[in-house]
Amino acid sequence: MLDPDCAGRTALVTGSSSGIGRAFALGLAEAGADVAIHYNTSDAAAAATAEEATDYGVDSIAVGSDLTDPAAVEECFSTIESSLGSVDVLINNVGDFAPKHWSDITLEEWHHVMDTNLTATMLCSKRALGPMREDSWGRIVNLGYASAERAAVGVKNFPYFVAKTGVLMFTRMLAADTTEDGITVNAVSPYVVETSDAFPEDAPRGRWAQPSDLLQAVLFFVDEDSAYISGENVEIDGGWLPESV
């Protein structure tokens, strides 16, 4: 596992009470960053993750927020800034999906998937940019989906595919908008992770991705020596080829 030096940095991992977000937060804590464990409803799990993060000798808090609400995003960041300092590393991990046929998805579900994946990524990045620009340093890593660069779609989960394609477009745009600011913006795009809720029949390389597989890429992007790498997307898919015939 890569071992960047994140001492003195503050990291916010959205949706980090469990799953891959939890792995990201604990990995950054192990690298020396103070970490904010974000949750929406899982307050007990977030508190437990925050306590575990302190085992690495860093400070950690749990902060609850609906990141689709601009006022709640502001409150979330203000809480982190008052407790840990301004956010240097932002991992936009939060995002729900709707594994239904597109015609069975309600308008409310449609908006929820789009907002938790794409709108929340935009709102959190926008709020983080001010302090990052003032410090001339920042790392933003967004969570995409393997094959989103190809605009792959299916009749099930369609708004999720649209939102994740938007996340990758946003990543490239924001990388271009921060070239003079000491900030990098990149994406990590998994296929199926062992913590997922549903699994296809065949797993590339005989297994599903582990959270540590994704963490490896996140730590690479966060590393000080990755300062010239921005606007990139790494697919963590084991060599999955969705367009195979």
CB-CB contact of 19 with 45 (8 Å): no
Residue tagged active-site, from 39, 56, 145, 160: 160
Distance separating alpha carbons of residues 71 and 92, to the nearest angstrom: 18
Q: What 3-state DSSP class applies to 183?
A: strand
Strand order, beta sheet including 183-190: 60-64, 34-39, 10-13, 89-92, 138-143, 183-190, 233-236
CB-CB contact of 105 with 159 (8 Å): yes
Q: Is residue 160 among the annotated active site residues?
A: yes
Residue 67 structure tokens: 């990141």
Residue 212 structure tokens: 């540590």
Q: Which residues contact 148 (CB under 8 A, 6 or more apart)?
A: 161, 164, 165, 167, 168, 189
Distance separating alpha carbons of residues 95 and 228, to the nearest angstrom: 28
Active site amino acids = 160
